[in-house]
Amino acid sequence: MMVIGVIIGIALLVVFTLLQKGSKDSKMGINLSRVHCPKCNEKQEIIRKPNNMKQALYGGYTCTNCGIEMDKFGTELEK
């Protein structure tokens, strides 16, 4: 029973650490809010389809309206 408590505690610690690293500079953060395109302000889909390996690994979107590529927080990425 103690082992299960320790495992749950470690899992919660990892989840809360990832949530705190949700800054714009961290690749490992988790974004739980809706993302809007920085150029045309279009809402991005909740269920995303990654267009490249970087989006598949770290999250991110490509706007269906204007084609701009952004990270998982909605910040435009440099080309």
Taking only the tens place, the pLDDT of each residue in 7-64 is 999 988 877 776 655 555 566 677 778 899 999 999 998 888 899 998 888 888 999 8
78 assigned to some structural domain? no
- Residue 2: per-residue pLDDT: 87
- Going along the chain, which residue ranges are E strands? 61-62, 69-70
- Residue 39: per-residue pLDDT: 92
Q: Is the pLDDT confidence value at 6 over 90?
A: yes
34 assigned to some structural domain? yes
Q: Is the pLDDT confidence value at 78 over 90?
A: no
Longest distance between any two alpha carbons in the chain, whole Å = 53
42 assigned to some structural domain? yes
Domain that holds residue 23: 2-70
79 assigned to some structural domain? no
Q: How many CB atoms lie within 10 A of CB 38?
A: 14
Distance, in Å, from the CA atom of 79 to the CA atom of 65, rounded to the nearest integer, reads 18
75 assigned to some structural domain? no
Q: How many CB atoms lie within 10 A of CB 32?
A: 6
- Phi, psi torsion values for 36, nearest 5 degrees: -115, 145
45 assigned to some structural domain? yes
- Residue 63: per-residue pLDDT: 92
For the chain, what is the domain count? 1
10 assigned to some structural domain? yes
76 assigned to some structural domain? no
The reported pTM is: 0.61
